[in-house]
């Protein structure tokens, strides 16, 4: 799942519920990753991570930005999320990392199911 929000917007708890709803529809029975492509500047309410953290099948969370302020914000957001979360300057690197995390988690999960 890739998200890009409008310039000057605020990602609130309401928006987090929309993301959760989309994930339940499209990724109900499988793991997925989330890429926040921050081409625009917008605010994020860090308390949303308390809810996103509850998505057991959200296995990788990547933030993509070339802006220094986003890198500083990432450090704060990571304190709230407390799960696998990485910062990238290039989208392709973020996508490769998410795919790798999902492949590893799916392989690990499949291995367990055979036991």
Give pLDDT tens digits for 81-98: 999 899 999 999 999 999
Residues of the chain with pLDDT > 70, as a percent, come to 90
Residue 15's pLDDT is what? 87
Overall fold of domain 2-114? Transcription Regulator spoIIAA (3.30.750)
Q: Domain locations in the chain?
A: 2-114
CA distance 35 to 88: 10
- Residue 77 · residue 85 · CB < 8 Å: yes
Q: Is the pLDDT of residue 33 over 90?
A: yes
Rounded to two decimals, what is the model's pTM? 0.84
Q: Is residue 112 predicted with pLDDT exceeding 60?
A: no
């Amino acid at each position: 799942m890739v998200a890009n929000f409008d310039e000057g917007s605020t990602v609130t708890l309401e928006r987090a519920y929309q993301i959760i709803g989309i994930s339940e529809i499209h990724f109900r029975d499988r793991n997925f990753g989330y890429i926040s492509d921050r081409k625009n500047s917008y605010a994020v309410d860090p308390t949303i991570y308390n809810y996103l953290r509850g998505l057991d099948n959200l296995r990788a969370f990547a933030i993509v930005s070339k802006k220094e302020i986003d890198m500083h914000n990432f450090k704060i957001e990571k304190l709230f999320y407390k799960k696998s979360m990485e910062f990238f300057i290039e989208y392709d690197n973020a996508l490769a990392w998410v795919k790798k995390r999902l492949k590893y988690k799916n392989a690990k999960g499949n291995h367990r199911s055979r036991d």
